[in-house]
Amino acid sequence: MRILPEKTIERLSEYRRTLFDCLERGKSHIYSHELAEIHNLTAVQVRRDMMFIGFTTPNRKGYNVEELIKLISRIVDPEEVLNVAVIGLGNLGKAISTYFIGKRPQLNLAATFDLDPKKIGQKVGDVECFSVDRLREIIISRNISIAILTVPTYSAHDMSKALIQAGVKGILNFTTVTLNVPDSIYLEEYDMITSMEKVAYFVKNQKKKK
Q: What is the mean pLDDT of residues 186-201?
A: 87
Residues 70 and 92 in one domain: no
Q: Which domain holds residue 127?
A: 82-194
Residues 101 and 185 in one domain: yes
Residue at 203 is within a domain:
no
Residues 102 and 121 in one domain: yes
- Is the pLDDT at 139 greater than 80, yes or no? yes
Q: How far apart are the first and last CA of the chain?
A: 49
Task: Decide: 149 and 135 in contact? Cβ < 8 Å.
Answer: no
Q: What is the pLDDT of residue 90?
A: 93
Query: 107-114 and 82-87: which strand pairing?
Result: parallel
> How deeply is 114 buried, as exposed, middle or buried, from its count of CB atoms within 10 A (0-12, 13-18, 19+)?
buried
Q: What is the pLDDT of residue 205?
A: 81
> Last residue of some domain: 36, 54, 76?
76
Q: What is the pLDDT of residue 1?
A: 56
Which CATH number does the domain housing residue 128 bear?
A: 3.40.50.720
Q: Report the percentage of the chain scoring pLDDT > 70.
A: 97
The number of distinct structural domains making up the chain is 2
> Last residue of some domain: 76, 102, 130?
76
**Among 13-27, 97-111, 190-204, which is the least confidently predicted range?**
190-204
Q: What is the pTM of this model?
A: 0.82
Q: What is the pLDDT of residue 210?
A: 63
> Last residue of some domain: 59, 76, 93?
76
